Amino acid sequence: MPIKPATATHESSSNGTAEAILLELVDENGTTIGTAEKLSAHQPPGLLHRAFSVFLFDEQGRLLLQQRALGKYHSPGVWSNTCCGHPYPGESPFAAAARRTYEELGVSPSLLAEAGTVRYNHPDPESGLVEQEYNHLFVGMTQAPLAPDPEEVGDTAYVTPAELAERHAKDPFSAWFMTVLDAARPAVRELTGPSAGW
């Protein structure tokens, strides 16, 4: 299994040149139809590709948010869900979600469960890139202390629904955040229970 972050380049052992990161292209049913280089898949109008989004909660039912590092090429400095990214070609979305959560936040979920899929098309006005994604959703729990990678994560915060609403009203969030959260809400409610308010 690859262990380098999906945002990094892979070094080719034969000639020392950087090898492009490939994403899985899919059809509207989520069936793999090919691959494309990561940046080219996000150039307008965007190529539909496989992605994942993770929502982790603490024992109080608070959602772990991530502020994307300022050095990221796509949506830098904005707040978003716990973790999101793209499986390597042939890698299961579940394995990719667990891998990237550990790579970005230094924590392995104590529980991680599938929460459906959502398909969307979200342009990012700042970068000009487009998210055409078939997104696999995951919800789970985390109990261990975080150890974020500063190249990936600028800040983190655990929030209640009320605190999220307040933060969302004043801080920039990723273009896809509300789409993936709304799609994951049934699984989030099942995980956190009615008292958490999700």
28 belongs to the catalytic site: no
133 belongs to the catalytic site: yes
Among 24, 104, 131, 133, the active-site one is: 133
DSSP 146: P
Cβ atoms of residues 63 and 164 within 8 Å:
yes
Name the residue with tokens 């109080």: 60
Residues 131 and 20: their CA atoms lie apart, in Å, by: 18
Per-residue CA distances from 58 to 84, 131, 139, 144, 186 (Å): 18, 29, 11, 9, 17
Cβ atoms of residues 160 and 62 within 8 Å:
yes
Closest to 148 in 3D by CA, of 95, 88, 96, 82: 82
Among 83, 84, 104, 152, the active-site one is: 84
| Per-position b or e across 98-116, b if 16+ CB within 10 A of its CB | bbbbbbbbebebeebeebe
DSSP 126: T
Q: What is the largest CA-CA distance in the chain?
A: 57
Active site residues: 84, 133
